[in-house]
Structure 1
Amino acid sequence: MTAVSAERVRTQIDGLASAGLDWPTFGAAAIETLRKALPFSAACLATVDPATELVTATVKWGDVDDEHDLQWSYHEYEVDDVYDFRAVSRRPGAVATLAAETGGDPTRSRRFAEMFSPIWDYSDELRAGLAADGATWGGIALFHQGGRTFTLAEQEFVSSVAPGFARGLRSGLVVGAVDLAAAGEAGCPAVLVVGADDEVVQANVGAEARIADLGGGPLGDSPLPQVVCAIVGAARRRASDPTAAVPRARLRSRTGRWLVAHASPLLSRDGSGTDVVVTLEDARPPEVIPLIVASYGLTGRERDVVALVLAGVDTADVAARLHLSAYTVQDHLKKIFAKVGVRSRRELIAQIYNDHYAPHLVEGGALAPSGWFAS
């Protein structure tokens, strides 16, 4: 630990978390702030879907790069190792180090032997799950080189700042509006087939635009976005292990669209096969509105009130359904308005639906039989 006090860094990270920054801007600033108290060689901050805890996007610092995302996903989701992010997030303190987990022999970890050591010469990794109000919103991995390992004090410090990181990731998901001009180009669902060699075997006409909206390049010439790598690995693992992570994740694209990514293995007639079909499409309101509501940091009771308000229930009926007084409902609404940054029910509904219906209405989209907008 450096001369900068741990308490000062915690305060600065908490300040960044409440500054209204989009999550990549928050992540980059928070990592730089963390280094004031805890030097490290490299870092990777990831967002996850709280429902499945699959990685949806990353901010990286140092020499860790995007070129090895497929290897990351392989070691995270497809093979067994001494720990993974989902396991770390569930333990007390939600923190672990490679040195401690392997008893000082990191070669016991395939991730270390096949990736950390030969590619980057990392000597230790510190992982922490980032949870707020009972939900995991991301994870952070820090790395040492040159034989250095993370101390117990450093683990405890990272555990103490993790809630601030989680709140910053959570609130950053709902910052910014949809870029209609750019988002219109990526409006069609994308379907890709990823082969056993992790190359795209087939793709529909909408795939290139969707991949670009997630920060990827031309198919076949650039690495696939992190979320695609993650759900492909999760789909392969789940084919043989029903308890593995569900290969599905909700995320926000670079143009501000909310998307759902899901994957499934393709099997031949004899039941074998390693190809995976990936679908990326606009999220429907029932899929993503609970995530948006949770992103504002509402309590359980406040979420109950919002759910009824979004359904058009008036204050008296909200009180009756939740067995509360009308005054208590009004008090909850005041707190909800303050957290969301609105002044009325009308503004609340508009704020939550704006990322979904409003952009399509501006574009003049027609409703399909499903109740969602036709392409």
Structure 2
Amino acid sequence: MARPAPSLSLRDRLARDLAAPSSMEDVADRVYAATRRHIDFDFACFATTDPTTGVLTWASKTRDLGVGDVDFAAAEYGAPDINKFDEIARRDPPVAILSIDTDGDLSRCRRHREFMSPVFGFGDELRACFLGRAATWAVLALYRRADEPSFTPADAAVIAATGAVVADAVQRALFRLPPPGGSHAGPDRGGPAVVIVDAADRVTHMTAGARAAVDVLGGLDHGQLPPGILAVVASTRTSGAPLTTQTLTRDGTWLSVRTAPLDGVATVPDVVVTVEPTSRAAVSRMALAAHGLTAREEDVALQVLQGAHTRDIAATLHLSPYTVQDHLKTIFAKLGVSSRREMTARLVLDA
């Protein structure tokens, strides 16, 4: 589609607009607005992912489609399909256009054939993953109507250039506050937070604590569970294995969503979901990864945050004290602190 050339590249525009995000909703809105100045689209969805599992934890849309996210979660974490986010994340660059990857036959894609086209009238799809430090922090999907031109390799290149900028903004939004302590609005109200979801993704049982947890995770969407829960349920149903993801709630606390198949259920299992406050240790490890620490640097930092001295860290991790000190210098530089005390004040662990 012909349009005047913008004065700024999308990458530079996002670098400016995402310099100080106030929330994840703010990040999504700025991504939509900036992208629309460079690439035409009819509908877009922006979502965060758990960097350790790649599973979606929160999602935003440019408009309400009138349905929840059950079909989206089932398509993304169900049977094999073309251009799933986990596959795109392994590409270089991590961007995909459906019309190109289906050789122009969009019906080869199951999600397009079964609901994106017949239910919403969508045509081509452009998907991108935003990676930082080899982990996926967010994803974006753009859609055009069936009567609109397909996306182009030039569109993909424009989006690909923004990867690090968007990933950095997401990390800053996620870790703009110290790890939570004290109050957790969801699971602590009404007792344990447990949900049982049947094979049709209907909630068959829900504790009072789970109702509070669902509310802070985004609330019911057209009667369906929030995307961050549906994604974990769908993944567990497909793999048959338990899964845990960490997600930041809209009130600024971290919650762990755990799923497991319900014993004694055949074929397509019912899934048990539990929600509980994320340990400060788990949040601190994610925060350290977000600041670019290597696995070994994370190990050293976590020891420091638990009060260990250099000699003890060296013995525990089988390093020399000099190597520990070298790691600490690098850690301080990456975190923007100058001492153990400053680091501990920023990332506090439970004793």
Kept in 2: contact 1:249–1:260 (CA 8 A): yes
Which of 183-192 and 102-111 deviates more?
183-192
Q: Distance in 2 between matches of 1:287 and 1:327?
A: 24
Secondary structure of the corresponding residue to residue 153 of structure 1: helix
Q: Structure 1 residue aligned with 2:207, among 204, 209, 216?
A: 204
Q: Distance in 2 between matches of 1:104 and 1:273?
A: 33
1:237 alignment partner AA: T
Query: What does residue 214 of structure 1 align with?
Result: 217
Alignment of 1:298-309 (within 5 A): 298=293, 302-309=297-304
- Identity among equivalent positions (%) equals 29
Query: What does residue 361 of structure 1 align with?
Result: none
2:154 alignment partner AA: A
Q: Distance in 2 between matches of 1:251 and 1:155?
A: 28
1:41 alignment partner AA: D
How many angstroms does 1:276 deviate by? 1.1
Q: Distance in 2 between matches of 1:238 and 1:335?
A: 40
Query: What does residue 105 of structure 1 align with?
Result: 105
Query: What does residue 310 of structure 1 align with?
Result: 305
Q: Distance in 1 between matches of 2:330 and 2:21?
A: 22
1:161-218 Cα shifts (integer Å, max 9, x gaps): 1221111112211124689998446414311111122211011221110111111149
Q: Which runs of 5+ in 1 are unaligned?
A: 358-370
Q: Structure 1 residue aligned with 2:334, among 333, 336, 345?
A: 336
1:257-300 Cα shifts (integer Å, max 9, x gaps): 2111121222427x445311111111123433211222234455
1:285 alignment partner AA: R
Q: Distance in 2 between matches of 1:247 and 1:76?
A: 16
Q: Which runs of 5+ in 2 are unaligned?
A: none
Query: What does residue 123 of structure 1 align with?
Result: 123
2:344 alignment partner AA: I
Q: Considering only aligned residues, what root-mean-square deviation do their CA atoms show, in Å? A: 2.9
Query: What does residue 262 of structure 2 align with?
Result: 266
Query: What does residue 290 of structure 2 align with?
Result: 295
Kept in 1: contact 2:185–2:216 (CA 8 A): no
Paired residue total:
344
| Structure 1 residues 326 and 116: alpha-carbon distance in aligned structure 2, compared to 1, 3 A threshold | closer
- Name whichever structure is richer in helix by fraction: 1
Which of 138-147 and 176-185 deviates more?
176-185
Secondary structure of the corresponding residue to residue 67 of structure 2: helix
Q: TM-score, normalised by structure 1?
A: 0.81
How many angstroms does 1:123 deviate by? 0.8
Q: Distance in 2 between matches of 1:196 and 1:329?
A: 49
Secondary structure of the corresponding residue to residue 196 of structure 2: strand
Is 1:91–2:91 an aligned residue pair?
Answer: yes
Is 1:350–2:345 an aligned residue pair?
Answer: yes
Which of 73-82 and 272-281 deviates more?
272-281
Secondary structure of the corresponding residue to residue 138 of structure 1: strand
Query: What does residue 52 of structure 1 align with?
Result: 53
Alignment of 1:160-199 (within 5 A): 160-176=161-177, 183-184=184-185, 186-187=187-188, 188-199=191-202
Q: Distance in 1 between matches of 2:11 and 2:159?
A: 9
| Structure 1 residues 316 and 22: alpha-carbon distance in aligned structure 2, compared to 1, 3 A threshold | farther
